[in-house]
Amino acid sequence: MTENEIAMAAIVREHLGVDLDAQATGLATTLEAIGADSLDIIELSMAVEDHFEVTLTDEDLEPFAPDALNQKTIADLLALVEGKKGASNG
């Protein structure tokens, strides 16, 4: 796992109480699959923003909502964050 993947897994473990290493799908898990509700997603996004020093908009987070069609995974959230970091550094 990369440093960012380890950090994301630690954030999920700390804020949602879920060990992604114990999940068969790891970072490919959706937030819905681990029982996250809308409030959990807001709390997680704030922790992700703080750790990775990025800003996530409501539009960024819509695909991660429990009721979203074609719901995105935690790996997708990390890719979004890494994209934002790359855009701010470039």
Set 19, 21, 37, 50: catalytic member: 37
CB 43 within 8 A of CB 18: no
* Orientation angle between helical segments 3-16 and 38-52, nearest 10 degrees: 140
* DSSP secondary structure letter of residue 67: T
Q: What gap in Å lies between CA 66 and CA 55, rounded to an integer?
A: 21
Check if 19 is active-site.
Answer: no
Active site residues: 37
